[in-house]
Structure 1
Amino acid sequence: MGPSGETEDSRLGDAAYYAVAIAAGGVVGAIGTIFHLAVDRIGTWPSVLSGGFGERGLLLMVVMALIAAAMVMVSVLIVRTYAPEAAGSGVQEIEGALEGLRPVRWKRILPVKFFAGLLALGSGLVAGREGPTIHMGASVCQAASEWLRLSTRDTRGLLAAGAAAGLAAAFNAPLAAILFVIEETRRQFPYGLRTYTAVILASVTSAIVTEGIAGVGPDMQIDVPDMPLLFLPAFVGLGVILGGVGVLFNAVLIQALDLARTIGLRWSFYIVPAAVGLTIGVLLIVRPEATMGGEALAVTLAGERLPLLVIAGIVVIRFVMTMASYSTGVPGGIFAPILALATAIGVLYGTSLGAVMTLPEGALAALAVAAMGGLFSATVRAPLVGMVLVAELTGAYSVLVPVILTCVFANVVAEALGGKPIYEVLLDRTLRLAGQTPPPPAALAADGSEPIGGWDQRERKG
């Protein structure tokens, strides 16, 4: 053991450690951007197929349903065969790894997350690309850590840096990615100048590479004018509503996962993916707004004035399909679906207000943007990340104060209702199903370097 209590693994100097973080960030940025562009490309198959049919009849619907179902089922097959831990977002897996409770088996996670994720997201499922990129980003850094034989503390710092770089690549939002580590992994991250600087360098490098490949600019550009001060109470009300919706979202998501698992254990694990895939294939024709991650939908909704009942229908169907898609067990995140659902709720709220009062110019767009941050805050329970993520995604810095109000009140209401952060709940569920329990906070050393009962200790003994 060294003087700091760490193992005798290699401990790089600060300059070398930062160089590794920069290099890893560049690799993650390239992988994440290629993944993003590939998802966009493969996601065009419904329009290509539709163009090959003279009219949108029953035959087209059947063919699209079968193709979507096949893509989802193959994705599930790859995950279940080669890397079960690649299912879902992956954020909870990284948090578990930072606590020493979950291994990051990068050799199988990287290919499975990439190719199974392409099939899942390309099929039209309501899932986001950010989950896979975060998990792949951490896997790249795990590979570097093993190659360099870094200490436990340095490895965990680099894992967090890789996860942040993945988020930066997914949304071109480096500041939100840095804050995500600070706020979301505050219980696990081994804070220090060295590890914190590595997170910053990896995130910024990833964003630079992303912009170099895909171009510069917000991923979801929405033009919003300044809101009058007298309209600020509307954002407080929106935050209160979203606080309740966030708690409901988290509870139903866990129930959907448990129901899908029960069905899988009783009959077959492919029943739910097949059913959801068939449904997605049909919806790609009859209700395309109910499919895909939803980034484009969010921008469209914020700029259109749709009838109240139409918006309400979009809210309901997006909520249901988000739950159904995530329960299939494919690689996919929930950030993007949350943002799209929130936009619909914000527009629904604004349209309802417009029926009883005169709204200021651009109010619907402002409420849509604020709702993104509010629902994110209520589900992920990271309000600071929600504020900054929305600003970087949309470029709508003019409504920063309304966004802050919405995020704060959504977070407060979610806390008052007893809601827990979704990734904390997902991690607890993962550990419970694996027969593990997280250690109490006192079981971790002050620097997070020596977990009790962690996977790294078991591997060293082995």
Structure 2
Amino acid sequence: MPRFANLHFPSMGLIRHRLTPGFFTSQPDYLVLLSLSALVGAVAGLIVSAFEGAIHFLTYHRLHYFDSWALPAGITALLVILAGALFAAVGFLATAKLAPETSGSGIPHVEGALDGLHDIRWWRVLPVKFFAGALTLSSGMVLGREGPSVQIGGAVGRMCASLASKYPYAPHVLTASGAAAGLAAAFNAPLAGILFIIEEMRPQFRYNFTSFKCVTLASLTATIVLRYFHGQDAVMDIPTFKVPPLESLWLFLLLGVIFGVVGISFNRWVLKWTAFFKGYHRNNLRRVAGTGAMLGGLFALFQLYLPDISGGGVALITDFVREPMAWGLMVLVFLVRIVATLGCFSSGAPGGVFAPMLALGTLLGLAYGTVAAGLFPSLVAEPGVYAVAGMGALFAATVRAPVTGIILVVEMTDNYQLIMPLLMTTLGATFIAQAFGGSPLYSALLQQSLSTNAPAKEPEKPQTADIAAPATAAELNAPAKSE
């Protein structure tokens, strides 16, 4: 028989660890870890909610602060644009000077921390990511708050791990729990937060039942806190679509193939543009601030006169799904926004790419659905279904986490009945991306960062047995010992 070196079969110790009852009464350290995970989720949910509120507050006041000055319209518009340039310049400068690890989405930094390649200086990451991210995102640049929310959550987890310093596994588990809580709170999607850690961060996340429970509990508490402040409605207010006929599933598979090719190209261009901006900046603060001012001013201008080309894209998704344009115009907006997304995300701005990717998937998916409705009217009743499928497909092709993409989209849009079309589209996109050798976006960014910069710290030698090994998984709860 052939041998498969990558297969791993758990020992009886791990099986006994997972099946033995009485965890809560026999292991005080287990209770401590769960309690800290709940605390991480609550604090992360609170900070992410405040982060969203700060972005909306700054955006509104930047756009309307000068209205009361009774200036000519052109002067008011110029002041709004200059304010956007100033916001972005300060955000870029604070990031580069105070905490360079907060540039970009921050997800590769969290992945590196889970792998022992980076340390999270939470006392710097939390304030810098919050304030610099809020300033930069409120300038109108094509960035999302979801990636920064993951890094904020991971930093909260590392902060709370200092309360459990005697447990060598606490920093890893609580960092992962915080990252899941951050994504769950950003999207109001607790299941997506859990799956993102298990699926996207699977090379770094040391899975066992205890760590899984901690991640789940943190995501739950973060979502509860978010919904307390923002309500329980889905993030996107779009129609609930009917289930498309089974005969139309091949159209979703073809859409997935298209997005697989787009996703590979998008990832490669992100890496090229990121390398270009790093080579241009070369840690020169003037160039960093100048880049921020230029991009902030440009997209503040677009926000006034071409709003479809600015911002993260959540509002754009809602508008286009409810009132779609002609398919040619949507393709044009898609092409312009993909260039804008590449420029903003690759520049080193403290912002993410989740929401911009979902907007891109919506535009191309809706254009495809409009064309398909004209060609196959008996198979396509609602072109908006392909917009929902496009969101999940581009996420799957770039991040390489198809199940997370499916759950994320259905939680955000409240279209749970579209799981079958989403499965076809996301798996088609993933298979094409893998077949052509594309690398997952955040793993590729982490590797690029490690190849161009010395890691913040050397990989840590485990103080106990590898936490991913069955022996350490048993140590986390070890109910068999107490019995």
The TM-score normalised by the length of structure 1 is 0.89
Question: Quick one: distance in 2 between partners of 1:45 and 1:262?
Answer: 35
State the shift of 1:54 in Å: 7.8
CA contact (8 A) 2:106 2:147 kept: yes
- The 3 A distance-change label for structure 1 pair 115 and 103 is same
- The 3 A distance-change label for structure 1 pair 264 and 344 is same
Question: Quick one: distance in 2 between partners of 1:405 and 1:387?
Answer: 10
Q: Which residue of 2 aligns with 1:72?
A: 88
2:256 matches 1:239: yes
State the shift of 1:190 in Å: 1.4
Q: Which residue of 2 aligns with 1:6?
A: none
CA contact (8 A) 1:347 1:368 kept: yes
2:450 matches 1:431: yes
List per-residue Cα deviations over 1:149-171 (Å, max 9, x = no partner). Answer: 04332220111000000011101
From 397, 400, 404, the equivalent of 1:385 is: 404
Q: Which residue of 2 aligns with 1:275?
A: 294
Q: Which residue of 1 aligns with 2:423?
A: 404
2:395 matches 1:395: no
2:185 matches 1:169: yes
Letter in 2 for 1:96: G
2:142 matches 1:122: no
Q: Which residue of 2 aligns with 1:206?
A: 222
Question: Quick one: distance in 1 between partners of 2:30 and 2:172?
Answer: 15
Question: Quick one: distance in 1 between partners of 2:170 and 2:28?
Answer: 9
From 114, 118, 142, the equivalent of 2:158 is: 142
Q: Which aligned pairs between 1:407-418 and structure 2 lie closer than 5 A?
A: 407-418=426-437
Q: Which aligned pairs between 1:46-85 and structure 2 lie closer than 5 A?
A: 47-48=63-64, 51=67, 58-85=74-101
- The 3 A distance-change label for structure 1 pair 359 and 76 is farther
Q: Which residue of 1 aligns with 2:326?
A: 307
Q: Tell me the secondary structure at the aligned position of residue 296 of structure 1.
A: helix
Larger radius of gyration: 2
Q: Tell me the secondary structure at the aligned position of residue 363 of structure 1.
A: coil
Letter in 1 for 2:181: A
Letter in 2 for 1:63: L
2:271 matches 1:251: no
Q: Which residue of 1 aligns with 2:467?
A: 447
CA contact (8 A) 2:373 2:381 kept: no
Q: Tell me the secondary structure at the aligned position of residue 273 of structure 1.
A: helix
CA contact (8 A) 1:61 1:281 kept: no
Q: Tell me the secondary structure at the aligned position of residue 176 of structure 2.
A: helix
Question: Which structure 2 segments of 5+ residues have no match?
Answer: 1-26, 470-483
CA contact (8 A) 2:66 2:79 kept: no
CA contact (8 A) 2:46 2:222 kept: yes
Question: Which structure 1 segments of 5+ residues have no match?
Answer: 1-10, 450-462
Question: Quick one: distance in 2 between partners of 1:387 and 1:152?
Answer: 34
Range that drifts further, 132-141 or 366-375: 132-141
CA contact (8 A) 1:260 1:272 kept: no
State the shift of 1:57 in Å: 5.3
Letter in 1 for 2:376: M
Question: Quick one: distance in 2 between partners of 1:370 and 1:333?
Answer: 21
State the shift of 1:437 in Å: 11
Question: Percent identity between the aligned chains?
Answer: 35
- The 3 A distance-change label for structure 1 pair 116 and 382 is same
Question: Quick one: distance in 2 between partners of 1:59 and 1:361?
Answer: 48
From 260, 269, 277, the equivalent of 1:260 is: 277
State the shift of 1:67 in Å: 1.5
- The 3 A distance-change label for structure 1 pair 373 and 53 is farther
Measured on the aligned residues, the alpha-carbon RMSD in Å equals 2.4
CA contact (8 A) 1:224 1:362 kept: no
Question: Quick one: distance in 2 between partners of 1:218 and 1:355?
Answer: 30
Q: Tell me the secondary structure at the aligned position of residue 375 of structure 2.
A: coil
State the shift of 1:236 in Å: 0.6
Range that drifts further, 243-252 or 345-354: 345-354
CA contact (8 A) 1:127 1:293 kept: yes
Letter in 2 for 1:24: V
Question: Quick one: distance in 2 between partners of 1:121 and 1:106?
Answer: 21
Letter in 1 for 2:288: F
State the shift of 1:53 in Å: 8.3
Range that drifts further, 94-103 or 138-147: 138-147
State the shift of 1:345 in Å: 0.8
CA contact (8 A) 2:173 2:214 kept: yes
Question: Quick one: distance in 1 between partners of 2:457 and 2:171?
Answer: 20
Question: Quick one: distance in 2 between partners of 1:439 and 1:108?
Answer: 20
- The 3 A distance-change label for structure 1 pair 439 and 84 is closer
Question: Quick one: distance in 2 between partners of 1:133 and 1:445?
Answer: 31
Number of residues paired by the alignment?
Answer: 438
Q: Which residue of 2 aligns with 1:453?
A: none
CA contact (8 A) 1:428 1:437 kept: no
Question: Quick one: distance in 2 between partners of 1:91 and 1:336?
Answer: 14
Q: Tell me the secondary structure at the aligned position of residue 35 of structure 1.
A: helix
Question: Quick one: distance in 2 between partners of 1:424 and 1:437?
Answer: 17
Question: Quick one: distance in 2 between partners of 1:201 and 1:281?
Answer: 39
- The 3 A distance-change label for structure 1 pair 448 and 84 is farther
List per-residue Cα deviations over 1:10-64 (Å, max 9, x = no partner). Answer: x961112111111111111111111112212222235425855889954344323
CA contact (8 A) 2:373 2:379 kept: no
